[in-house]
A and B are shown apart, each in its own frame.
Chain A
Amino acid sequence: MKKAVIIGVGMTPAGEHWKTPLRDLAVEALLNAMDDANIDKVDSLYVGNMISGSFVEQENLGALIADWAGLGHIPAVKIEAACASGGAAVQEGAKAVMSGLEDVVAVIGVEKMTDAWPSDATRYLAYAADAEWELFHGASFVALNALVMRYYMHTYGYTEEDLALFAVNAHINGAKNPYAMFKKPIKVETVLKSPYIADPVKLFDASPVCDGAAAVIVTTPEKAKELGIPKEKWVEVAGMGRAIDTINLANRKDLLTLKAAKVAAERAYKMSGVDVKDIDLFEIHDAFTIMAALSLEAIGAAERGKGAELAKEGQIAVDGDYPIQTMGGLKARGHPVGATGVYQTVEAALQLRGEAPNQVPDAEIALTQNIGGTGSNITVTILRRV
């Protein structure tokens, strides 16, 4: 098996792009990544996208984006794994390179959400849950996360204030990221005073609906050398794992364990030979504050029930032992669902290249974790400076 390295990254700001259609967002991020790598063609394209068919009545994104980016008759497909589509697309791109079948691969994540009426957006997002047994009963994604959050607080004795710390940390970091949707630091009170959208989830526990696109260029070290890409720009895709869990939250064996993240992380650790203690920063899937806590537990950064403890101890800050959401995470950067996993990859790569606005000193290894559904489809990827 060959090795895969990221040699170029690009993104658009996450936010409300009223004037820009999906294809232009995608092409902008893609061309930025190609310019960063200083290349003008790729062998294939993988598009992470959750639900463009519902949001903008457009599917077949592989053809659309490759066509509009002028990439010629290359193979191009969309990869879908709900909100983990971006993370899955990065892994599929890396796999293509590792297999030796494709030399230079572009991976893009894109989502255009603001064209939909808010309650329709809420409905479309819930398509990633169980249509017959969850959405049928009026469950939104927020509501499903709220059920988990209440149970978590009750089981371990945490308060809404404790979980709010994850949102506060995300906003502190997002404030320094020019690509973030929200660039204002917030306080715990900001979270606590925000309205309930599904109790106990408040508006500021939740990541925002927005538009955005991010892209990476992946190739082998041999090809990167041949292309003359300076080594300082290489970021190795050192480990990958992906796993599913029951589509229906109620069917989980343990409501408070993201089993899919646990399995995916174990696979990624094994492949990379990396231990959680070796990792310098974590871009995890904080679509809701509760998911940040559960994710830290599932990837082994905290014991069961201790995820929120890390936030209370200040360990999740950029200068802590387990820095998370160094560029704002889903909460402050924004969560253009199918693009999120690629944003995380770009942000982690910038950290490892030493080019991040909230630079973690001498960062060598990063982990990205991308959740689809209520934990039903999860990717974990380990990136390493070369």
Chain B
Amino acid sequence: MPNMQVSRFWRHFKEKYRLVGSKCKKCGKIHFPPRQVCNECGSREMEEIQLSGRGKVISWTIVRNPPSGFEYYKPYPLALIELEEGPIVLAQLTDVDPEEITFGMEVEMVTRKIREFNEDGIILYGYKFRPPIK
């Protein structure tokens, strides 16, 4: 992927590094990723909300045949995580033995490398989730 795409990833720093979502000022629904229009009530009045990054696993899989660009990282666990605030987020799990993943397992957000491109390409970072450090 050419480096001209850097802006494509930079523009999502807030969401991908800090897990910033949106909250509908009218009905209160919290969205992640943030939306311009609430898909619950149709309101366009949204405000930013900092999500806690804490949640629980509601389903997971092990990706063994990944899309090109992710071959180096296979196999990796991918999960749906229900955040404390309500939204469900798709992300990779990290720092966990795939055999130990369970329904309802508590996890917290961490910032990790998602993938690299070629030698002189950009490195993508973003959120992953791991069992909380006690």
Residues of A within 8 A of B (CB): 117-120, 122-123, 126, 132-140, 142-143, 146-148, 150-151, 154, 195-201, 246, 248-251, 255
Contacts and interface: CB of A to CB of B under 8 A. Distances in A.
B66 A250 contact: no
Contact of A249 (B68, B76, B90): B90
Contacts of B87: 250-251
Contact of B90 (A123, A133, A195): A133
Contacts of A198: 61-65, 78
26 contacts: A118-B65, A119-B67, A122-B65, A123-B69, A136-B124, A136-B126, A138-B63, A138-B67, A138-B92, A138-B114, A140-B65, A147-B90, A154-B59, A195-B64, A197-B64, A198-B61, A198-B62, A199-B62, A199-B64, A200-B61, A250-B80, A250-B87, A251-B87, A251-B88, A255-B59, A255-B80
Interface in B6-32: 12, 31
A195 B68 CA distance: 20
B33 interface: yes
B68 A120 contact: yes
A147 B80 contact: yes
B78 A143 contact: yes
A118 B67 CA distance: 9
Interface residues of B, number: 34
A134 B78 CA distance: 10
Given A197-B65, A248-B90, A250-B89, A138 B73 contact: yes
A190 B80 CA distance: 29
Contacts of A151: 58-59, 80
A119 B92 contact: no
Interface in B30-87: 31, 33, 39, 58-71, 73, 76, 78-80, 87
Contacts of A250: 80, 87-90
Contact of A199 (B31, B61, B88): B61
B89 A143 contact: no
Closest 3 CB pairs of A and B: A146-B61, A123-B67, A119-B68
Contact of B61 (A119, A150, A154): A150
A251 B65 contact: no
Nearest to B16: A136
B75 to A, nearest CB: 9
B91 interface: yes
Contacts of A139: 63, 67, 78, 90
Contacts of A123: 67-69
Interface in B97-120: 103, 114-115
Contacts of B66: 119, 122, 138, 140
Given A120-B68, A142-B65, 9 more contacts: A119-B65, A119-B68, A126-B67, A138-B92, A139-B90, A146-B61, A151-B58, A200-B61, A251-B31
Nearest to A152: B59
A56 B68 CA distance: 16
A117 B68 contact: yes
B6 to A, nearest CB: 14
A249 B87 CA distance: 12
Nearest to A206: B65
B44 to A, nearest CB: 18
A137 B114 contact: yes
Given A132-B33, A148-B59, A251-B39, A137 B90 contact: yes
B32 to A, nearest CB: 8
Contacts of B126: 136-137
B67 A154 contact: no
Nearest to B127: A137
A119 B71 contact: yes
Given A122-B67, A123-B68, A147 B62 contact: no
A134 B90 contact: yes
A123 B67 CA distance: 4
A340 B20 CA distance: 39
Contact of A137 (B31, B92, B103): B92
Nearest to B78: A143
Contacts of A143: 61, 63, 78
A155 to B, nearest CB: 10
Nearest to B124: A136
A53 to B, nearest CB: 16
A381 B73 CA distance: 41
A147 B59 contact: yes
A23 to B, nearest CB: 26
A137 B70 CA distance: 9
A147 B60 contact: yes
Contacts of B115: 138
Contacts of B89: 250
A196 B92 contact: no
Nearest to A127: B67
